Amino acid sequence: MKKILFFALIALCVATAFADDKNPGKKPPRPRSARPAKPIVMPPSLKPGDKIAIISPASTPSADNPEKAAETLRAWGFVPVIGSHALDSYHGYAGTIAQRCADLNWALYDPEIKAIVCTRGGYGSSMLLGPMRRDDFAKNPKWIVGYSDITALHSAMVTSGVMSLHANMGGALGSRGKDDPVNQMLLNVLTGTLPAYEVPAHPLNVAGKAEGIVIGGNMAVFTNISGSGQWDFLDRSQIMSRDVILFFEDVSESIPRVNSMLQALRLKGVLNHVKGIIVGRFTEYESRDGYNDMNEMLNETLGGLGIPVCYDFPASHDEEWNYPMIEGCKAELIVTTDGVSLTFVNENEETATE
């Protein structure tokens, strides 16, 4: 019996080799992780007269937040429409999950709404991802604007194949007004101008050049989503199928807590696959454990990755230093001893049209 199996195996190998000789141009199947990633769609640019929804997917905003944000949007020539539950309150959230989902679905599916501005972050956006589907975000591509806890919605958008906008939201739009330089940066993106940023050098920067889609946001939020499957834009299969530039920032998180989140990303393999890292500003924390600041701690891990890294980039909870970052959009990051440049590029041939 062993002899029979031995000669049968030899015959199979010969037959396979002969078949390959007859098809010399035949390529082996592509590994699943190496398949080209689907393009990520850029939402259409806005024009004067377009309607913009103002909703609260997370915590309840201050009573004057939606209307003050609406004033700025009107001054820019848009028509703001405030969601029915924007000021609701349920245990600190802006309504129940069902109420907040109702406003989000209205804003996503109403064809007259061309963009969505969130009032504030806080907590609760990830709760909405349970009832939502990828089609809800993908069928009618439009910008979702916000930061902090809204990172959960940015992750949902990018994994659904649509770019999203990490930028100032209702509070900053209302308090800083239409002429604020950072708010003007947001207006430029909404109306079709992709940003190109130049920022000063930082002594801990690691020089180099990287290209890839920009993803990230609030560090605590996207590390909490990590492992959630369909909504995790740092899932191993995602970052292995495309080049990625990761950015992150946070507020009121201790150095040990941020270090724990960083090591979670390292153990998951994320840091081994990204092409470049942009460290935004960490605010409202105390130096401790012998570290002078957060960047010193981060550099112990990031400095040895062999990829370009920049620190103190103006993406943060500080509304004066929160440059718009287009999640899912290709960008070029150049870090030198003289400074840092980040240039966004729309190479998507399947950009959404109205």
The yes-or-no answer on residue 273 being catalytic is no
Active-site residue, selected from the candidate residues 148, 164, 226, 316: 148
Cα(32)–Cα(27) distance, integer angstroms: 15
The yes-or-no answer on residue 85 being catalytic is no
The angle at the Cα of 154, spanning 345 to 181, to the nearest 5 degrees, equals 60
The yes-or-no answer on residue 249 being catalytic is yes
Do the Cβ atoms of 324 and 173 come closer than 8 Å?
A: no
- 196-200: strand order across its sheet: 196-200, 339-345, 330-335, 208-218, 244-251, 276-283, 309-310
Specify which residues 309 forms β-bridges with.
206, 277
Active-site residue, selected from the candidate residues 85, 154, 166, 317: 317
Lookup result for tokens 């330089």 = 181
In the chain, the amino acid numbered 237 is S
Distance of CA 98 to the CA centre of its chain: 24
Antiparallel, parallel or unpaired: β 325-327 and 330-335: unpaired
Output phi, psi for 279, to 5 deg. Answer: -95, 115
Active-site residue, selected from the candidate residues 85, 154, 160, 249: 249
The angle at the Cα of 176, spanning 156 to 344, to the nearest 5 degrees, equals 45
Catalytic amino acids?
Answer: 148, 249, 317
